């Protein structure tokens, strides 16, 4: 663990707090700083929504991301240049989140996870997941976005802060790598704890201090370089070991939930047909191979016209599985399979169906997901955006329940009774 216990450090922090031109007084105590958190958080939500709806586009200029990053860059000197990391560099093709849709979705999922999580460990896991995606040019500068979501968990990041940290601790943090940032963060947490009475539980304070040190505002004494570098290597090795362990656990969880998205759709298709419903398979999945044929075999070739005559027709066609009453054409049930994808986007598609059907006949909605995603389902449905949607009687259907009971329901069940019995309402506490 990187330690800075030199007697002169508390005195330097005190001097920094009293320095009228330093970031403590010009930025950290700035009354507008706290107000900016709310608007930046809304801006990040806009970025997430556009990425999930595939309306973000393929350019930084004019995007919702430019708007929010520009707002961050305006937060006084500490964040000057924060937008540079997100500018599109065509010759290097970085950061690769504008023209590569898969990378863009991974970035959106990262922001969405961090926006909604309620534990520090979840934020760190989201960073490690993004790092494993290997998106070219998308490095720790994104921590500046996270700081405005979780200021007591995430420290801001820029060149001056890194220089200040290296100068103060004797570490050798390099720019552009998430594992280096996480190791630096570990040291920042320890440093902040040591001098907590002079700093804050908001890591903006210590980041501002390191920024001023790294900007050359205060000369520092010489220190034992070899011992300091050894402590830094310990931090970095520990972070890398934690990342490897997290990756191993993620791979194990993925293998345990080894049912594919298509397989779950196939289960729902077969169950719906056995119960006498007309079945619709999402238009983009209909031709997928399944059980020796196509996933859409035996299913409807088109949806009833009244389901597709409103403005959300394309969204409704992408719902994973819909069961329809053969006599009336009414929607009996709709299913979104969220194997690893965004829970939020699945709920939005169901909202389009619930609110867009003439007569409001669609009522039974199911999010079908691995057993370990129930908390994520409930957290997403608890968002303010969904708080007043009484029309959406949403239920969570775990893979294990569907796997264990689908054959019995198909053989002895009728209507939706069996499915409703194994699903769990989302709008009420567990």
- Tens-binned pLDDT, residue by residue, of the chain (430 aa): 455 556 788 999 999 999 999 999 999 998 888 888 988 999 999 999 888 888 898 889 889 999 999 999 888 788 988 889 999 898 888 999 998 988 998 999 899 889 888 789 889 989 999 999 999 999 999 999 999 999 999 999 999 999 999 999 888 898 889 999 999 999 999 999 999 999 999 999 999 999 999 998 988 876 656 666 677 577 667 766 776 776 666 555 554 444 578 899 999 999 999 999 999 999 888 988 888 999 999 999 988 887 776 655 667 788 899 999 998 888 899 998 887 666 766 777 777 777 665 544 557 889 898 887 777 777 777 776 666 555 567 888 988 899 999 999 999 888 899 999 999 887 655 5
User: Distance between the two ends of the chain, CA-based, in angstroms?
Assistant: 40
**pLDDT the model gives residue 254:** 52
**pLDDT the model gives residue 419:** 94
Q: Which is it for the CA torsion 246, 247, 252, 256, positive or negative?
A: positive
**pLDDT the model gives residue 412:** 87
Q: What is the pairing mode between strands 278-281 and 293-294?
A: unpaired
Residue among 391, 403, 278, 293 nearest 337 (CA): 403
Cβ pair 97, 135 in contact under 8 A? yes
Helix, strand, coil proportions of the chain in percent (round to 5)?
55, 10, 35
**pLDDT the model gives residue 384:** 66
Domain ranges for the chain, please list them: 8-252, 261-425
Report pTM.
0.62
**pLDDT the model gives residue 256:** 44
**pLDDT the model gives residue 425:** 83
């Amino acid at each position: 663990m990187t330690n800075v216990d030199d007697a002169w450090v508390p005195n330097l922090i005190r001097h920094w707090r009293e320095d009228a031109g330093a970031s403590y007084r010009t930025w950290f105590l700035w009354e507008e700083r706290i107000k900016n958190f709310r608007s930046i958080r809304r801006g990040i939500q806009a970025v997430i929504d556009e990425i999930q709806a595939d309306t973000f586009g393929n350019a930084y200029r004019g995007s919702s991301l430019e708007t929010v990053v520009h707002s961050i860059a305006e937060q006084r000197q500490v964040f000057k240049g924060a937008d540079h990391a997100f500018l599109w560099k065509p010759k290097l093709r970085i950061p690769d989140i504008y023209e590569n849709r898969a990378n863009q979705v991974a970035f959106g999922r990262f922001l969405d996870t961090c926006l909604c999580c309620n534990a520090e460990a979840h934020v760190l896991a989201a960073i490690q997941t993004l790092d494993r995606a290997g998106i070219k040019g998308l490095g720790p500068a994104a921590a500046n976005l996270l700081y405005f979501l979780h200021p007591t968990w995430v420290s801001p990041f820029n060149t001056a802060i890194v220089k200040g940290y290296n100068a103060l601790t004797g570490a050798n943090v390099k720019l552009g790598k998430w594992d280096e940032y996480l190791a630096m963060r570990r040291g920042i947490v320890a440093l902040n704890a040591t001098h907590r009475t002079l700093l804050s539980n908001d890591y903006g304070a210590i980041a501002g201090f390191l920024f001023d040190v790294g900007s050359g505002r205060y000369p520092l004494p010489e220190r034992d370089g070899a011992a300091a570098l050894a402590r830094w290597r310990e931090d970095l090795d520990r972070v890398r070991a934690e990342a490897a362990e997290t990756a191993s656990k993620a791979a194990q969880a993925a293998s345990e939930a080894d049912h594919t998205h298509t397989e779950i759709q196939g289960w729902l298709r077969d169950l719906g047909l056995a119960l006498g419903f007309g079945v619709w398979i999402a238009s983009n999945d209909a031709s997928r191979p399944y059980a020796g044929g196509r996933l859409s075999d035996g299913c409807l070739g088109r949806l009833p016209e009244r389901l597709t005559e409103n403005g959300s027709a394309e969204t409704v066609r992408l719902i994973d599985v819909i069961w329809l009453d053969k006599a009336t054409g009414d929607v009996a049930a709709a299913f979104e399979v969220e194997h690893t994808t965004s829970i939020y986007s699945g709920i939005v598609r169901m909202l389009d169906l619930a609110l867009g059907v003439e007569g409001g006949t669609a009522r039974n909605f199911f999010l079908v997901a691995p057993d370990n995603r129930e908390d994520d389902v409930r957290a997403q449905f608890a968002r303010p955006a969904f708080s007043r949607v009484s029309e959406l009687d949403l239920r969570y259907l775990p893979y294990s329940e569907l796997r264990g009971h689908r054959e019995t329901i198909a053989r002895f069940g009728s209507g939706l009774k069996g499915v409703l019995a194994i699903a769990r309402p989302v709008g009420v506490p567990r």
